[in-house]
Amino acid sequence: MNDSTHNSGSAVLINNLTRHFGDFTAVDHISLKVDYGEIFGFLGANGAGKTTAIRMLCGLLMPSGGSGEVAGYDIYKQAESIKKHIGYMSQKFSLYPDLTGRENLTFYGAAYNLRPADLSDRIHELTERLELGEFINQLSGKLPIGWRQRLALAAAILHRPRILFLDEPTGGVDPVFRRRFWSILYDLADSGVAVFVTTHYMDEAEYCGRISIMHHGSIIEQGRPFDLKRQHGTDSLDDLFINLILSQEATRA
């Protein structure tokens, strides 16, 4: 899965990507670039279009316009190739609640066509690394939410993807768990994985290498958190975000 021809270049590169649902434009001409080894934060209020954008990048949804490449593959024509190189963790817990953690991972391993011997080594490795411990053998629907998130992450990185998409991964998780979760993401980025994460927690946005802020389907600001705060003369991303949204609303009205 590591064909070297695509190792250079950007992990995600999109240009004027657009998606309509009937009359409604969910994503309106967005352009961005994410590199390998980078944690890219995708910010926005609820309904800003983050999830629609991420679903187009994962090959779950056809764009209405614009162009894009993920892992060097075209998002229109090569969705199947993209899927081999990405991991995806959705907003809601989407592993089988009536399977144990191990059974879930075994199933997804087969889905990613991993060989059984490699798979059991990998499950063992991830159990250690994500500190899943005995929880791996319990029904995943009965796990506390923090462990479920880790299990979902394990399923998303099982096949060593080069790009990881996380759609609001830490909703409903307590701060301690969130801290642990992010340290795992850092480790992944250090090993060269591009991490593309959506969130509306501003403290999480601080952890990102670069962020972009979405509003009503468009990207209204993009850059490193430190640079953005300086540009707008604010101390916190919270203020920055609220000011930006308010000024956007003002110009719209």
Partner 1 sequence: MWRGYIGLIRKEFIQIRRDRNMLGIIFLMPIIQLLLLGYAVNTDVKQLDIDIYDFDRSTHSREFVRSFEAGDHFVPEEVISHSNTDPVWELAKRFKTSETQLALLIPPNFSEKLTRNENVTVGLIADGSDANAARAGLGYAGQIVRKYSNHVTGMEVPLEIRHNFLYNPELESVYYMIPGIIVTLLTMVTTMLTSMGIVRERETGTLEQISVTPISSHALLAGKITTFAFLGLLEMGLALAVGILWFGIPFAGSPWFLLWVSALYLLTTLGMGTFFSTITSTQQQAMFLAWFFSVFAILTSGFFSPISNMPIWMQNITLLNPMRYFMTVVRGIMMKGSGPADMIPDILAITAYGLTVFTLAAARFRKRTE
Q: Which residues bind partner 1 (CB under 8 A)?
A: 58-60, 79-80, 83-84, 86-88, 90, 92-99, 103, 106-115, 139, 155
CB of 250 to partner 1, least distance (A): 37
SS3 of residue 33 by DSSP:
strand
How many CA within 13 A on the CB side of residue 140? 23
Treating both helix axes as pointing N-terminal to C-terminal, what angle do 116-129 and 101-111 enclose, rounded to 10 degrees? 130
CB-based contacts of 137, cutoff 8 Å, min separation 6: 100, 101, 102
Among 42, 32, 37, smallest CA distance to 7 is for: 37
User: Looking at beta carbons only, is 161 or 225 nearer to partner 1?
Assistant: 161
Q: What is the 3-state secondary structure (H, E, C) of 95-147?
A: CCCCCEHHHHHHHHHHHCCCCHHHHHHHHHHHHHHCCCHHHHHCEHHHCCHHH
CB of 116 to partner 1, least distance (A): 8
CB of 163 to partner 1, least distance (A): 11
SS3 of residue 241 by DSSP:
helix
User: Looking at beta carbons only, is 59 or 225 nearer to partner 1?
Assistant: 59
CB of 71 to partner 1, least distance (A): 13
CB of 97 to partner 1, least distance (A): 7
Q: How far apart are the first and last CA of the chain?
A: 50
User: Looking at beta carbons only, is 65 or 97 nearer to partner 1?
Assistant: 97
User: Looking at beta carbons only, is 110 or 187 nearer to partner 1?
Assistant: 110
Task: Give DSSP secondary structure letters for 160-207.
Answer: --SEEEEESTTTT--HHHHHHHHHHHHHHHHTT-EEEEEE--HHHHHT
Instruction: Kindly report the number of other CB atoms within 10 A of residue 88's CB atom.
Output: 22
Q: Report the distance separating Cα 64 and Cα 51, nearest Å.
A: 15
CB of 67 to partner 1, least distance (A): 19
User: Looking at beta carbons only, is 67 or 91 nearer to partner 1?
Assistant: 91
User: Looking at beta carbons only, is 16 or 62 nearer to partner 1?
Assistant: 62
* DSSP 8-class letter at 38: -
User: Looking at beta carbons only, is 79 or 242 nearer to partner 1?
Assistant: 79
CB of 65 to partner 1, least distance (A): 19
